[in-house]
């Protein structure tokens, strides 16, 4: 079983000028690992990170958009997979960290830990789908995954993380929002 922060550290080595959308636990880990203006933090919008990522990808088809979502978050807006697949943004890569819990809400278990999120995304019509439970395999394939035309989906099977501190004041900082808007609008 992998750890989410280890997966994100590997991913961070491949991130250049992509916009990265994340919520709750994924956002806390991601911001600690890779603080940057092109991080779009949709804290308080559980389940909507995939929809926000879709909107950004459609708004800037010339810029790669990476979504880092939790399994509980995706379950709250599972229909977004069908919408994303129907609109088929070639610049969208969608990761779901599956730890079988609603981690941000006290780690209650998701209804069915046997759910196959990559299978659901494949059935919805994503261009490519992956399922990773081995860190070495993920590290070997991440560069290829990120280069593919999307929408691309990948499940990261991770163990529950240590208790996280949610510094909402920092995550919601209006200066970070403005920095994202400026960086995302930049065409250089």
pLDDT tens-digit series, residues 67-126:
999 998 899 999 999 999 999 999 999 999 998 666 666 666 667 778 999 999 999 999
CA atoms within 13 A on the CB side of 41: 28
Average pLDDT estimate for 134-154: 97
Contacts of 51 (CB under 8 A, 6+ apart): 77, 80, 83
Q: 164-184: per-residue pLDDT in tens?
A: 677 778 877 889 989 999 999
pLDDT at position 163 is: 67
Q: What is the CATH number of the domain that holds 124?
A: 3.40.50.970
Contacts of 144 (CB under 8 A, 6+ apart): none
pLDDT at position 179 is: 94
Percent of the chain whose predicted confidence (pLDDT) is above 90: 71
Q: 5-50: per-residue pLDDT in tens?
A: 999 999 999 999 999 999 888 888 999 999 999 999 876 777 899 9
Give how many domains the chain has, as a whole number.
Answer: 1
Max CA distance (Å), the chain: 45
pLDDT for residue 144 is more than 70? yes
- 171 lies in which domain range? 2-185
Six token digits for residue 93: 């890569």
Provide the 10 A C-beta neighbour count for residue 32.
11
CA atoms within 13 A on the CB side of 101: 16
């Amino acid at each position: 079983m992998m750890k989410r922060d280890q997966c994100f550290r590997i991913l961070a080595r491949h991130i250049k000028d992509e916009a990265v959308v994340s919520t709750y636990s994924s956002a806390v880990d991601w911001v600690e690992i890779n603080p940057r203006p092109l991080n779009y933090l949709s804290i308080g919008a559980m389940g909507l990170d995939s929809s926000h990522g879709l909107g950004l990808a459609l708004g800037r088809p010339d810029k790669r958009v990476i979504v880092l979502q939790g399994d509980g978050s995706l379950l709250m807006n599972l229909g977004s997979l069908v919408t994303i697949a129907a609109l088929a943004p070639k610049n969208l890569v969608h990761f779901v960290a599956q730890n079988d819990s609603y981690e941000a809400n006290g780690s209650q278990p998701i209804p069915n830990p046997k759910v196959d999120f990559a299978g659901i995304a494949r059935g919805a019509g994503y261009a490519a789908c992956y399922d990773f439970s081995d860190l070495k395999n993920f590290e070997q394939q991440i560069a290829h995954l990120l280069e593919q035309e999307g929408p691309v989906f990948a499940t990261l099977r991770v163990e529950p993380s240590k208790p996280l501190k949610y510094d909402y004041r920092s995550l919601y900082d209006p200066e970070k929002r403005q920095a994202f808007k400026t960086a995302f609008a930049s065409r250089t």
